[in-house]
Structures are given as C-alpha cells and as structure tokens.
Amino acid sequence: MTLPIGIEILLDGALLFLISFGIFNERHGMKIKDSLLALYFTLSCTVSRLSVSISMNTAPLLSMEKQGYEIVPAPSLILFLFLILIVIIINSLWFKKDAVYTLFGTMAVFSIFIIVREMFILLFYGLGTADNSWNPVICRIGSVLLLCAVLFTPFFKWIQDKLNDGLLPVKLLIGNTMVLLCALLVFLDFDATKTTDQLLFLSVTIAAILLINLLFGAYAQKRSAEIKRVTMLEQYIPVIEELITQVRARQHEFNNRLLAISAAAQTADNLEQAQAEIAELTTGLQLDISEKSLLGCDSKIIAGMIFSKMKYAEMKKIMVISNITAPLKGRAIRELDVVEIVGILIDNAIEASNAGDTIYIKIEHSDDGLSVLVSNPYMMQSATDFVRMFRRGFSTKGENDTRGHGLANVKAIVDRYRGKIITRNETVHHQNYVTIGVIFP
C-alpha cells in the first residue's frame, strides 16, 4: 500500500467517524473509547479498497485499488451499498439507537459525506488542479477540517432533533437526497475526473439539493412545532381546566360566605362583634398568588404546565409559588420554547430541593425584556459553578450520558434568541437561594 492510499483511507474513516459521531452521539464530548469507532470505519474503508487477483499458477494476491475512490470509499454502486450496510451495522451496535433512527441517520451520514466531498472536488478541480496526484488527499483533508468545525455548531444537534421527532417529511428528505446523490455517483461513474466536464451541472445539482434540503427542513421545523403544540394542548389544557374547576367549585363556598357575612353584619350587637365574625368568615376566601397568576396567564399551555409541576412538587412535599405578571403571547420567542425553558428550570429546582422547601417562579416584564426566573434553596454557588451547570452532560448527581442536558438546552434556546442567562445567589428567609433564569429581548 502506497503512502497516499493509506492517508486517503485514514481520512475517509475519520470523515465517516466525525459525521456519524455528530448525528448519533448525544453525550458530552468524545471519550477515549470512541477512537475504536474511528478504527472500525477505517477498517471498513480498507476492506472496500481490497482487490483479489487470482491466477492459475500463483496464490491469490491482495492489493489496494487506487482509482475510483475520490468521491466515496467505493468504486461502484454495489460496493457503495455494501459499505452503507456495514456502517448501518456499526452505528446500530455502537450507538444503540432504534432501527428507524439508525437507517435514516446513516443515510444522512453518507449524504453529508458526498455533498462535502463533492464541494471540495468542485473547488480543487475547478481551479485546474486535476493533474495533482495529491489532490484526493487535499480534498479529504479539507473535508475533515470542515466537519471538525461543524461539530462545534448546532447543525448536528438540529439533525438529531429532527431524527428524534421521526416526522415523515424528514424521512422523505433524507431518503430522496440519498437517492439523488447515488444517481449522481452513477452518472459520474464514481470518477472524480469527470467532474471537470460536468462542472456546471454538478454545481447546479448540489446547489439544488441544498436548497431542497433547506425548504424541507423549514417545513419539517414548522410541522414539528405544530405537532408539539397539539401535544402540549392535549397534555396541559385539561390540567388548567382542573384548576378552573376547583375555583368554580369554591365559588359556591364564596357565595355562602358572602351571605353569612351579610347576616353577621346585620345581626351583630356591636361593631367589634361584627368585625370579629366577618374576619372569621373571610379566612381562606382569597385565591393564593399562584392561582391568581395562573388563571391570569394568557398562555394556557404554560399555565397548565406550571400547574402540573406544582402538583408534582406537592407529592414531594415541596411548595411552588408562581407569580406571572407579563403577557407571554405575541412575542418573538415561541410559546413552545418558553414551555421548554420554564419546564427545565422547574424540574431542576424540584430535583435540587427537599421536602419542606419552597420554590419561587417569577415571569415578568423587565427593562431588558421578558424575564423568567426560578429560585430554590441550595448551597451558595460560585461563578465557576454556575458556568459548569450549563455545560452539556453536567449534573449534580455526576456526569453521564443521560443527565445534564436540560440547562445546556436552555442555553442553546437563549443563544438562538440572543437573550441572556441570569444566575445568582439570594438570601430568602435567612436561607441561601439559587436563582437561575433567562431574559429575552
């Protein structure tokens, strides 16, 4: 095996690893054991390059093919489909996702692989460097460096969210893109040198595929939001209706108390007696601040979600007091994003609290915009502690693959709207409270 071929195989394996890791991995950062995954992909690319020469007079001879691997690590459609099958098996065993996610996730891996590789091939071949023997290596290095940079963007997280939603438009988008790209490979006969002759056609085709992806992605995003909203309506509207029913049931008690107050005022012998009887009758008549704020909230989904969290906290003997004074509809931030943020902040506060504690939720309009704050009793935190909380994978119960994604998701939403994270220590009733919240302009 010559040096350029060995480098090409390593870079192909690295590119497959980076894309698969970005689409399938939901942990925080890479682990040492993930290097094994890169090795598996490299071995797969090595196997696809093997050629067996059989002669009557000599033993079978293994060799490495050089031509036909510039675009993908396979020189024909059959071998390419076989390579896809191998990668599907590797991703399934390594990441342990369900079959649908693994299938369409792997198709997305190869779609990105081909598009990125073709972009660099078009760039270098279009510059007239087709005769450079190191051109395939340079294209691969550029592809790997680009994907390394993309790993630090929300791009792969967005793909993960779409695949987790499992929407039909997303599956159609990935499937159609893969079919189009395979047809393109067959058209080029897996030969990058034909790129020069079809430069304009390939540029237009790749641009069209990217445009279709953007349009389908926007539609899938909108459809996903609609489904989530319907799901939340079904989940939380009955909850807030339960609160309304409770208040209406107490209305009869209110009416009876009012009649009793009127009778007490008319039958009392003196003013002091009337005041005492009326004070006794009015005890417990008022709605508490949480009930008032929830009933006055203009978003029934958010009100229902908060009320359900309050009921859950009651089971743990934790009191939740909410104070909502700002309108939540008609703002730049989506209602679903507010629900996710408030839900995560309350869940974290409940998890960090003990029986007998009180959690405070405050949603108000400040000078900087919409302010959402959740406070719970906890030991004093330093600035470094607060920063660490928003790191993906961090949890007060230890870092692992399933915890520590909530506040990282909050930060991602806030960054998307160019808002601000609020963290501070406060003293409430001689006890330290940790306040975590957000401000949206």
The 10s digit of each residue's pLDDT in 382-426 is 888 888 888 765 565 554 444 446 788 888 888 888 889 999 999
- Going by C-alpha positions, the residue among 110, 131, 95 that lies closest to residue 19 is 110
Taking a C-beta distance cutoff of 8 angstroms, is the pair 310, 290 a contact?
A: yes
More confident call, 208 vs 436:
436
Taking a C-beta distance cutoff of 8 angstroms, is the pair 291, 243 a contact?
A: yes
DSSP designation for 194:
G
Q: How many angstroms from the chain centroid is the CA of residue 171?
A: 18
Cβ atoms within 10 Å, residue 33: 8
Walk across the sheet containing 319-324 and list its strands: 319-324, 358-366, 369-377, 431-440, 420-428
E strand spans, 289-342: 319-324
What is the b/e burial string over 298-326, where b = at least 16 CB atoms within 10 angstroms of the residue's CB? ebbbbbbbbbbbbeebeeeebebebebeb
Range among 146-155, 166-175, 282-291 rated most confident = 146-155
Domain boundaries of the chain, sorted by first residue: 3-197, 289-440
Q: What is the pLDDT of residues 129-150, one digit of tens each?
A: 555 566 788 888 999 999 999 9
Q: Phi and psi dihedrals of 79, rounded to 5?
A: -65, -35
Determine the Cα angle at 206 with ends 201 and 211, to 5°: 125
- What pLDDT does residue 221 have? 67
pTM metric for this prediction: 0.61
Contacts of 413 (CB under 8 A, 6+ apart): 337, 340, 341
Query: How confident is the model over 342-366, as a mean pLDDT?
Result: 90
Class of domain 289-440: alpha beta
Half-sphere exposure of 216 (CA within 13 A, CB side): 19
Taking a C-beta distance cutoff of 8 angstroms, is the pair 97, 91 a contact?
A: yes
Specify the range with the lowest mean pLDDT, choosing from 15-19, 254-258, 377-381.
254-258
Distance between CA atoms of 64 and 2, rounded to whole angstroms?
9
Q: What is the pLDDT of residues 255-305, one digit of tens each?
A: 666 666 666 666 766 767 666 766 665 555 555 667 777 777 888 888 888
Contacts of 68 (CB under 8 A, 6+ apart): 74, 75, 76, 190, 191
- What pLDDT does residue 90 have? 93
Specify the range with the lowest mean pLDDT, choosing from 1-15, 68-82, 394-408.
394-408
Range among 53-62, 190-199, 354-363 rated most confident = 354-363
Contacts of 384 (CB under 8 A, 6+ apart): none
Taking a C-beta distance cutoff of 8 angstroms, is the pair 261, 199 a contact?
A: no
Q: What is the pLDDT of residues 226-262, one digit of tens each?
A: 777 667 666 666 766 766 666 666 555 566 666 666 6
Distance between CA atoms of 281 and 341, rounded to whole angstroms?
41
